Amino acid sequence: MSAGAEPHRFPVHFAFGEPAVDCEPVHVRGYAEQSLRNLGAEVVDLYHPHLPDPQVPFEDTVGAVAEPIADGPVRHLGVSRVGRAAAGRARGAPRRGGAGPVVGAAADRLGTAGRRP
């Protein structure tokens, strides 16, 4: 390391628990807050519900995550298993207050593990 250079610490946290599939907007903020408690953190950079709720329009879930993003405890939303069209719509969802998009990471249903040469 060169003189004067400081090492950087990039902590990675994982919130393990039962996968939540109830993505009704009324519950989403509570899930985010529980994740913060589980991690012992005040802020998470990426809140990524891994399973969409087939009973709730995906846009409603994205809109619900916009609240903790606007309030500060969540910086970005990650989306997966929703298909390309829904991920694209989510990427275009603005943050409340117009400070850029809500979605910071998106993965469609076509992962490399399921592809054939």
- Residue 76 is assigned to a structural domain of this protein: yes
pLDDT in tens, 29-76: 888 888 888 888 888 888 877 677 788 887 788 888 878 888 888 888
Residue 18 has pLDDT above 80, yes or no: no
- Residue 80 is assigned to a structural domain of this protein: yes
- Residue 99 is assigned to a structural domain of this protein: yes
- Residue 4 is assigned to a structural domain of this protein: no
- Residue 48 is assigned to a structural domain of this protein: yes
What's the chain's average pLDDT? 69
Q: Do residues 35 and 73 make contact, with C-beta atoms less than 8 angstroms apart?
A: no
Cα atoms in the 13 Å half-sphere on the side-chain side of 86: 19
Structural domain range at position 88: 25-110
- Residue 11 is assigned to a structural domain of this protein: no
- Residue 16 is assigned to a structural domain of this protein: no
